[in-house]
Copies of this chain bind each other. A is one copy, B any other.
Amino acid sequence: MRSRALVAIDPRPGVSLDRWVNLISSLCDFVAGFKVGLPFMFSYGVSGLRALRGSCDRFLIADFKLADIDHVMVLTVSHVIGYVDGVIAHAFIGFKGGLEGLKEYLDGLGVKLILIISMSHAGSVDVLDANIDRLLWVADRLRPWGLVAPATRPDVISYARERAPWAKILAPGVGVQGARPGDGIRAGADYEIIGRLVTEAPDPLEVVKWVNEEHVRALRGG
């Protein structure tokens, strides 16, 4: 079975790029892809991203949690076009002068847009989750390739799954943040995002293999 695991690469300062290139090479055949955020970009820059891309040709996501006006989001993403397959932005930003321009830009380049409708931390309930219908309305109008909804609150995933059958759902929060591998898949997610549980493990490949087994079990209804 194709893996449902996306590995989040969020380096602590002082770790060498080689460590990540080696890690990604070793996991390449066992995962669906990877995502990098701002800590990666600030550590290694665009050339670091190019090195990752060169070491494994899986789905690579720029997870900058974009939440700016269109002009600035497009300028930001223009630096990584050619190296990534998807870009994560916040549905919260709304259309006009915001996500509309980003979507148009990414569509023109064949890069997938992924919108966050809920997050994995507890504070997501303060504002985000109270607006789930509004955020799903933004998503429905924009029709991005994917949505982000948290494995830590599977009911949010189930709700999004029902309301947005057209979307791929990516579920973060597996591992250190509290969800167990399979929690997101069972609730209807297509992928689970796993970070420190894999990247800080003594044997990351063993963890990925175990996560994949848990996903198979979840898909079988276990």
Contacts and interface: CB of A to CB of B under 8 A. Distances in A.
B124 A94 contact: yes
Nearest to A125: B94
A73 to B, nearest CB: 9
A182 interface: no
A78 to B, nearest CB: 6
Nearest to A121: B97
Contacts of A130: 131, 134
Nearest to A131: B127
Interface size bracket, A side: 35 or more
Which of A72, A120, A134, A138 counts the most chain B CB atoms within 10 A? A72
A127 B134 CA distance: 7
A125 to B, nearest CB: 7
Contact of A79 (B39, B76, B125): B39
B90 A38 contact: no
Which of A80, A126, A128, A138 counts the most chain B CB atoms within 10 A? A126
A59 interface: no
A10 B72 contact: yes
Interface string A120-145: 11111111101100110010000000
Nearest to A13: B78
A122 B96 contact: yes
Contacts of A64: 38
Given A71-B10, A120-B69, A38 B76 contact: yes
Nearest to A92: B127
A126 B128 CA distance: 13
Contact of A123 (B66, B99, B119, B134): B99
A124 B177 CA distance: 30
Interface of A: 10-13, 37-39, 41-43, 45-46, 64-72, 75-76, 78-80, 90-100, 119-128, 130-131, 134-135, 138, 177
15 contacts: A12-B75, A13-B79, A37-B76, A38-B38, A38-B72, A42-B45, A42-B46, A43-B79, A65-B68, A69-B177, A90-B90, A93-B127, A127-B131, A127-B138, A131-B131
